[in-house]
Amino acid sequence: MAMKRRRKLLAGGIFLAAAVLAAVLGVRWHRSPRRRVNVMVQKIAQTSSMLSRDPLNPPRSWEDVLVGRSGAWPDYDKLVSELAAIGPAGLGPMVEALGHDSSDVRAAAAEALGRIGDGRAVPALSRALKDRHEWVRYKVTRALGRIGGPQAVDALVKALEDEIEAETSLLLTAVGSFPGGGEDVYLCEIAAEELGRIRDPRAVGPLIEALTHPKGLAAHAAAEALGGMDDKRAAEALVAAAECDNPYAQQAAWECLFGSAGTPDPGGTMLEKLGEGKLFAVVGLGEWPPDCDTARAVEALVPLLSERDLAWRAAAAESLGKLKDPAAVAPLAEMLAGEEDPAVKCAAVWALGRIGTPAALEAVPRAAHDADSAVCKAAALALAKTTRPSGAQEDP
């Protein structure tokens, strides 16, 4: 009898110990980084799937992510922040998420890895530069720039060289704002920008190559990147670019040289170059010195909105948008109403959105119904930026 009682007690003790152990292991699993990453991945994937099937939301593109998923996905940044908050302990499952079926999950994983800043993620991010979705590649490129280090530089240099070699080209009137059909040019610019942020001397050679390339966006970004590097080769390349035939490289090189050499009246110099018929001066007027009266620049740029050359009209509209002078609203709205070229329309819409006054924004919604899809995207992006949630983060 006593033996039977002892056996029951022993069995009960074993059962209790097993239950406690299971509970402890369950709590540990519940709190484990892998499970937390898996839960966040599932949330992002489910939300992405619901949005893609929602008839009230139009088909989404990567521009939605660039403006914080305004309206369509206001919690995107919050989900990425929660994913990044898991930290290096979640590195393994986040790297695995770079291969997820959902492009939203892959983009979020890349952005989270960039925020964490752990160099162990660089090899996987380098492979992800070949992702089939352009905005995933955008997030991967930004992540590599944030992490930095020799491996990240190697990956960004390779990406820059690959994109230049691809020879893709698209006239984008606002830098990086309208990637439809020209994603590689845009990503080429981002790769150059991130290399400039890291300032590794090994990037100077590829950036000089990009500076002399006929693709405007890549040349402009390369010039700006070289301007931030303390390297003789970079300075010599900028001096040469200031007189080259590429207006984007000219303008960026001119800004960099003014920044280093200094000048008593840089705005006046730009007006002088404008009088000589230099297109880069039109672009450069958008960088009018903050301590100078913008009225001089606006007065010089407004007549160019009616130039026969569409490149001049687009450049003038962009520069007026950068100046943010309300005096430019009426001429830009009038130009938008009568303009036929889609690229110039995009420039006018971007400029009005950049100025952002009520009068400027009144002219934008009409462009959202334009026959050209690029103009519609430009209008949607301009309006989305004005309604960005206060807590949403922008890419640097």
DSSP-derived 3-state class of residue 212:
coil
Please give the pLDDT value at position 154.
93
Distant-in-sequence, close-in-space partners of 343: CB < 8 Å, separation ≥ 6: 171, 172, 173, 310, 314, 374
How far is it, in rounded angstroms, from Cα 282 to Cα 316?
6
pTM recorded for the entire structure: 0.59
Question: Position of tokens 């950068």?
Answer: 322
Please give the pLDDT value at position 352.
93
Distant-in-sequence, close-in-space partners of 158: CB < 8 Å, separation ≥ 6: 126, 129
Left if phi > 0, otherwise alpha if psi is -120 to 50, otherwise beta: which for 68?
left
Given a contact cutoff of 8 angstroms between Cβ atoms, the answer to whether 140 and 128 are in contact is yes
Given a contact cutoff of 8 angstroms between Cβ atoms, the answer to whether 393 and 78 are in contact is no
Q: Which domains does the chain have, with CATH numbers?
A: 34-45+62-140 (1.25.10.10), 148-261 (1.25.10.10), 305-386 (1.25.10.10)
Length of the chain: 396
Mean pLDDT by 10 residues, the chain (396 residues): 61 57 48 85 81 51 44 70 91 93 91 94 94 86 93 91 59 32 60 89 89 71 82 80 76 66 61 74 74 83 91 90 92 93 92 91 88 87 62 42
Residue ranges of alpha helices (H) inside 167-231 are 183-198, 204-211, 216-227
Question: Position of tokens 């006239």?
Answer: 171
| Of 230, 232, 221, nearest in space to 255 by CA | 221
Helices and strands in the chain, H and E counts: 22, 0
End-to-end CA distance of the chain: 77
Distances in whole angstroms, Cα of residue 374 to Cα of each of 69, 106, 283: 19, 26, 22
Distant-in-sequence, close-in-space partners of 133: CB < 8 Å, separation ≥ 6: 62, 103, 106, 107
Please give the pLDDT value at position 59.
45
| Of 192, 281, 216, 214, nearest in space to 242 by CA | 281
Q: Using alpha carbons only, give the angle 69, 74, 77 rounded to the nearest 5 degrees.
A: 80
How far is it, in rounded angstroms, from Cα 147 to Cα 135?
18
Please give the pLDDT value at position 86.
92
Please give the pLDDT value at position 112.
94
